[in-house]
């Protein structure tokens, strides 16, 4: 057989081979392509059967090539072995003497090469799908982490400014306090609020307000460096300064923040300049809590605001203590009224002409169960701030009238009772009715009631209080101006008001304690003399307050002052002592 | 930053059989895990011809791509491409048209990761992770837009995938969305499992049971139903047929065509 005959005979064999293996696995080629491929292998197998010496490598390679062409299944090998064994020698007319031995070795080498290649291919594919599985898992986990990070960011940041929000800030502050890092045993806070931000919102609209907040946030972020800036809501921001050594470290941050906020910004064509107030707290982390720190910063922010804004204020524990006490006191007033913890002392107003008692001023006292007896200067201011003064003042007025009503039983020439009226009482509707009812109930003649009001009460231009005082005056009630000469001393009201008496402030009288030739003392005396002559020119009587020495009394009498009040003439004392004195 | 599609599972559960890896197993590949092989073997126990069906379908894909190449198409969008095993579109295409460009789309993260490895450094083929049920997102994907030119015909291949899309997911709407974006002269290749002419319902029930354990339950369709999905396209001869009958390499290759259980066809979008 010539070499030329082989391809044709090989073609017959290859067709049979292709038919045997088709369908054993997916083959990415046409039947014709498969036959052509197998024919090339057939030629190589035929060559191997003839070659001397016998070369196993041809069989190995044919097996591997089958797998590489995707004829790669157990069935594919089985049918290949079968078809070679049954047909190859016959189809190709091979008749060499040791051909059966060679055929056995050829089949063995094809099967070996095939199995090796199939194993390698299987391992490669397994490895690649495992790797894909791991990649996919890593990708999914990365995506999950990203979405968690995104979610976490949303949960911990303010959507408007992208600054950390209250949640993140609280977390960080709590961490800084509960679990401080090495060397970070102090912590500071700047609690900031824009001054008059509401005006921006109200006049330019919320959209501009929001953009201004974004601009402020950007400037803050830039100015405070590594410190955490958070937006707590509205126009409230807070800066956490960790690892401070002293208050000054936080003050520097506050200065930087105020400077940054104070830069003017162009927002939507509006040139806007805002200022801010900052409450600063700085203290050791040991012994404090996030709540304490925030409360202190909040209080301090209000101090800064109260001082006019555009500034920082430092937390002051003493001031805080005082305010806390004041707050506690003011909160206790209603219950104290109910429990009868208030009572009145009385101080005489004595005539400098004949030495008799013209009047008696009622002075309120608070017998506080823990703090002892409190003088009015420790709680009247509070009561005025909170509005409780109306109730408290009403009680004082009623009690004083009740007491004074008894005095006519003791003496026919009983003195008048002088009672302080707070601004709010004067402004309260129903003052006239309240006083009239009291006078009726106690039988106190109106002439024996004097109401002391301060100059500042009259600074208001409201008509209602003036009308009320005029009605009371028409009833016969005396109206006195208390602490005259210390306020603005706008004398215009003296023209319009039914005033009967001026009470000169104790500060002028204090000057009279110095020797008469002392220049300052002479000045005070001249002021007093002018005030007295002014009063007399207006048909008003004059009472000097705070008279403590006979010399003061003598000098006051010399300048024509009508009456005096003070330790020299009698200290404030319980009602019984006044009664004794009147008898 | 790559945005994770919002429908993607939060973790990859390779303890669940994947239809993509089961298909690889039917085709004689080893890109599969024990769980896939177990599911595929259960399928083979119910429907012994399953591997032949997969092979027949794969051969249909090869002939369809060759047909499209001969028709001058150079852009392919293979949706539901699965594990890039033997005889991928880009292998077939670039063999006779080196300028062909292929975009693979699959929802299976493992299949996508595997495809990405295979296609690494290949400038004319890419893979994106998306779901056939979100055609608008597929068409708008920047990776797809980078590779495909929408002024030239594109062949959309949805091969052996539609039986995982129930009618409730509106396959007609999905294909209509694709059609509206494709330029004239584009093609649509569809094939899917069919129960037409099968002897018993038991096989169908068993097959459905196997696939219920995957993320993709099975919906077989009749030839009429699949033909309806070519709405707006002109069916190329011989229309929707058993896949071995679709332009076979040799007449005898189409013997026992109904055993393939897959029907398919190719449609052309007119000018």
Q: How confident is the model at residue A410 (pLDDT cuts 50, 70, 90)?
A: confident
Query: Tokens 């490598």, residue?
Result: A57
Is B92 part of any domain?
Answer: yes
Residue A392: CB atoms within 10 A of its CB come to 26
Contacts by residues A512-518 (CB-CB < 8 Å, ≥ 24 positions apart): A512/A551, A512/A552, A512/A555, A512/A556, A513/A548, A513/A549, A513/A551, A513/A552, A516/A555
pLDDT surpasses 90 at B3: no
User: How does pLDDT run across A251-264, given as a tens digit for each residue?
Assistant: 999 999 999 999 98
CB atoms B59 and A26 under 8 Å: yes
d(CA A424, CA B106): 80
* B251: closest chain A residue by CA: A31
Angle (deg, nearest 10), helices B89-96 and B50-70: 30
Same fold, A166-315 and A328-582: no
Is B8 part of any domain?
Answer: no
CB atoms A146 and B1 under 8 Å: yes
CB atoms A72 and B92 under 8 Å: no
pLDDT surpasses 60 at A1: no
Is B165 part of any domain?
Answer: yes
Q: How confident is the model at residue B60 (pLDDT cuts 50, 70, 90)?
A: very high
Q: Which of B52, B92, B114 sits opposite A129 (nearest CB)?
A: B114
Q: How confident is the model at residue B205 (pLDDT cuts 50, 70, 90)?
A: confident
Residue B250: CB atoms within 10 A of its CB come to 9
User: How does pLDDT run across B230-263, given as a tens digit for each residue?
Assistant: 999 999 999 999 999 999 987 777 777 877 889 9
The sign of the CA dihedral B170, B171, B176, B182 is positive
Range of the domain at B238: 49-200+217-268
Averaged pLDDT, B217-237: 93
Share of chain A above pLDDT 70, in %: 97
Rg (CA), chain A: 53
| Alpha carbon separation from A211 to A80, A205, B96 (Å, rounded) | 79, 10, 60
CB atoms B30 and A32 under 8 Å: no
CB contact set of A410 (below 8 Å; sequence gap of 6+): A579, A582, A583
Quick one: pLDDT at residue A461? 55
**What architecture (CATH level 2) is domain A328-582?**
Alpha-Beta Barrel (3.20)
Quick one: pLDDT at residue B255? 73
pTM for the model stands at 0.61
User: How does pLDDT run across A553-569, given as a tens digit for each residue?
Assistant: 999 999 999 999 999 99
CB atoms A26 and B58 under 8 Å: yes
Quick one: pLDDT at residue A557? 94
Q: In this predicted model, which residue has the larger pLDDT, A514 or A159? A: A159
Q: How confident is the model at residue A471 (pLDDT cuts 50, 70, 90)?
A: very high
Quick one: pLDDT at residue B105? 97
d(CA B121, CA B126): 10
Q: How many CB pairs under 8 A join A and B?
A: 94
d(CA A319, CA A14): 106
pLDDT surpasses 90 at A92: no
Q: Which residues of A442-465 are buried (b: 16+ CB within 10 A; e: fewer)?
A: bebebebbbbbbbbebbeeeeeeb
Quick one: pLDDT at residue B5? 43
Averaged pLDDT, A191-218: 92
pLDDT surpasses 70 at B7: no
Quick one: pLDDT at residue B6? 45
As a whole number, the mean pLDDT across chain A is 90
CB atoms A140 and B87 under 8 Å: no
pLDDT surpasses 80 at B156: yes
Interchain CB contact of A132 with B (< 8 Å): yes
Quick one: pLDDT at residue A571? 92
Quick one: pLDDT at residue A268? 84
Q: How many domains does chain B have?
A: 1
* A119: closest chain B residue by CA: B30
**What architecture (CATH level 2) is domain A166-315?**
2-Layer Sandwich (3.30)
Quick one: pLDDT at residue B11? 53
User: How does pLDDT run across A292-308, given as a tens digit for each residue?
Assistant: 999 999 999 999 999 99
Asked, as a colleague might, if the bond just before A420 is cis with ω within 30 of 0, I would say: no
Share of chain B above pLDDT 70, in %: 94
* Residue A390 CA from chain centroid, whole number: 34
Angle (deg, nearest 10), helices A99-156 and A166-178: 90
Q: How confident is the model at residue A329 (pLDDT cuts 50, 70, 90)?
A: confident
User: How does pLDDT run across A228-249, given as a tens digit for each residue?
Assistant: 999 999 999 999 999 999 999 9
Task: Give the largest CA-CA distance in chain B.
Answer: 53
User: How does pLDDT run across A95-138, given as a tens digit for each residue?
Assistant: 777 888 899 999 999 999 999 999 999 999 999 999 998 888 88
pLDDT surpasses 50 at B4: no
* Residues of chain B in Cβ contact (below 8 Å) with chain A: 1-2, 4, 8-12, 14, 21, 27-33, 52, 54-55, 58-59, 62, 83, 86-87, 91-92, 109-114, 116-117, 249-250, 253
Closest to B245 measured CA to CA, from B201, B197, B202: B197
Q: In this predicted model, which residue has the larger pLDDT, A524 or A158? A: A158
Averaged pLDDT, B145-168: 95
- Whichever domain contains B226, its CATH number is 3.40.50.150
Is B25 part of any domain?
Answer: no
Domains of chain A, by residue range, sit at 3-128, 166-315, 328-582
Q: Which of A32, A132, A144 sits opposite B113 (nearest CB)?
A: A132
CA angle A306–A310–A316, rounded 5-degree value: 50
pLDDT surpasses 70 at B10: no
* A144: closest chain B residue by CA: B10
Identify whether the C-beta of residue A150 lies closer than 8 Å to the C-beta of residue A143.
no
Interchain CB contact of A19 with B (< 8 Å): no
As a whole number, the mean pLDDT across chain B is 88
Averaged pLDDT, B83-89: 83
């Amino acid at each position: 057989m010539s070499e030329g005959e082989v391809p044709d005979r090989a073609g017959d064999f290859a067709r049979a081979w292709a038919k045997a293996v088709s369908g054993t696995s997916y083959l990415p080629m046409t039947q014709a392509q498969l036959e052509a491929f197998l024919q090339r292998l057939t030629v190589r197998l035929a060559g191997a059967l003839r070659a001397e010496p016998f070369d196993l490598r041809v069989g190995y390679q044919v097996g591997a090539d089958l797998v590489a062409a995707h004829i790669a299944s157990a069935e594919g090998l089985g049918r290949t072995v079968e078809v070679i064994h049954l047909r190859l020698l016959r189809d190709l007319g091979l008749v060499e003497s040791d051909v059966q031995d060679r055929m056995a070795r050829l089949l063995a080498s094809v099967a070996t090469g095939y199995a090796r290649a199939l194993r390698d291919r299987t391992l490669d594919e397994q490895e690649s799908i495992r790797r894909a599985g791991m990649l996919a898992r890593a990708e999914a986990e990365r995506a999950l982490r990203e979405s968690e990070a995104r979610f976490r960011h949303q949960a911990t940041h303010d959507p408007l400014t992208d600054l950390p929000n209250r949640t993140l800030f609280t977390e960080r502050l709590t961490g800084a306090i509960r679990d401080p890092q090495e060397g970070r045993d102090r912590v500071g806070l700047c609690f900031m609020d824009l001054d008059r931000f509401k005006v921006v919102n109200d006049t330019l609209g919320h959209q501009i307000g929001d953009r201004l907040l974004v601009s402020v946030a950007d400037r803050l972020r830039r100015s405070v460096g590594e410190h955490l800036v958070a937006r707590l809501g509205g126009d409230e921001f807070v800066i956490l300064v960790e690892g401070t050594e002293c208050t000054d470290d936080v003050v520097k941050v506050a200065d930087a923040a105020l400077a940054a906020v104070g830069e003017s910004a162009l927002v939507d064509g509006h040139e806007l300049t805002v200022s801010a107030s900052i409450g600063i707290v700085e203290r050791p982390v040991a012994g404090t809590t996030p709540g304490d720190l925030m409360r202190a910063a909040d209080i301090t922010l209000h101090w800064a605001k109260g001082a006019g804004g555009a500034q920082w204020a430092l937390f002051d524990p003493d001031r805080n203590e005082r305010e806390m006490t004041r707050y506690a006191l003011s909160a206790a007033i209603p219950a104290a009224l109910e429990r009868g913890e208030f009572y009145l002392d009385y101080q005489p107003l004595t005539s400098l002409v004949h030495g008799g008692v013209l009047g008696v001023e009622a002075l309120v006292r608070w017998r506080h169960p823990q703090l002892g007896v409190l003088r009015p200067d420790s709680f009247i201011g509070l009561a005025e701030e909170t509005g409780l003064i109306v109730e408290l003042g009403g009680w004082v007025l009623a009690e004083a009238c009740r007491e004074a009503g008894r005095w006519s039983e003791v003496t026919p020439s009983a003195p008048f009772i002088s009672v302080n009226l707070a601004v709010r009482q004067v402004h309260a509707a129903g003052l006239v009715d309240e006083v009239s009812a009291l006078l009726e109930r106690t039988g106190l003649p109106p002439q024996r009631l004097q109401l002391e009001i301060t100059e500042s009460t009259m600074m208001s231009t409201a008509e209602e209080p003036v009308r009320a005082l005029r009605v009371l005056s028409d009833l016969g009630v005396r109206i006195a101006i208390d602490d005259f000469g210390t306020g603005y001393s706008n004398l215009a009201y003296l023209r319009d008001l039914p005033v009967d008496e001026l009470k000169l402030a104790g500060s002028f009288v204090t000057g009279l304690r110095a020797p008469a030739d002392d220049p300052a003392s002479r000045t005070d005396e001249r002021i007093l003399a002018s005030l007295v002559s002014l009063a007399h020119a207006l048909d008003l009587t004059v009472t000097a307050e705070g008279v403590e020495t006979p010399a003061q009394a003598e000098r006051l009498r010399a300048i024509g002052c009508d009456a005096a009040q003070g330790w020299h003439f009698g200290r404030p004392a319980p009602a019984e002592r006044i009664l004794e004195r009147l008898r | 930053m790559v945005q994770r599609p919002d429908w993607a599972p939060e973790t990859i559960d390779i303890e669940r059989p994947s239809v993509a890896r089961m298909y690889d197993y039917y085709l004689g590949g080893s890109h599969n895990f024990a769980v896939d092989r177990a599911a595929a073997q259960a399928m083979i126990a119910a429907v012994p011809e399953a591997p032949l069906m997969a092979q027949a379908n794969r051969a249909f894909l090869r002939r369809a791509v060759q047909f499209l190449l001969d028709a001058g198409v150079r852009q392919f969008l293979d949706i539901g491409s699965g594990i890039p095993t033997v005889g991928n579109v880009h292998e077939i295409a670039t063999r006779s048209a080196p300028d062909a460009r292929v975009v693979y789309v699959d929802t299976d993260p493992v299949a996508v990761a595997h495809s990405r490895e295979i296609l690494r450094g290949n400038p004319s083929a890419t893979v994106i992770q998306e779901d056939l049920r979100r055609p608008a997102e597929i068409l708008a994907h920047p990776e797809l837009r980078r590779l495909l030119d929408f002024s030239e015909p594109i062949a959309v291949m949805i091969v052996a995938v539609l039986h995982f899309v129930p009618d409730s997911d509106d396959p007609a709407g999905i294909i209509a969305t694709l059609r509206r974006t494709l330029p004239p002269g584009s093609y649509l290749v569809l094939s899917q499992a069919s129960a037409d002419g099968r002897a018993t319902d038991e096989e169908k029930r068993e097959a459905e049971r196997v696939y219920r354990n995957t993320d993709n339950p099975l919906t077989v369709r009749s030839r009429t139903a699949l033909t309806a999905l070519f709405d707006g396209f002109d069916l190329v001869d011989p229309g929707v047929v058993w896949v071995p009958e679709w332009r076979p390499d040799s007449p005898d290759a189409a013997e026992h065509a109904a055993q393939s259980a897959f029907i398919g066809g190719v449609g052309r979008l007119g000018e």
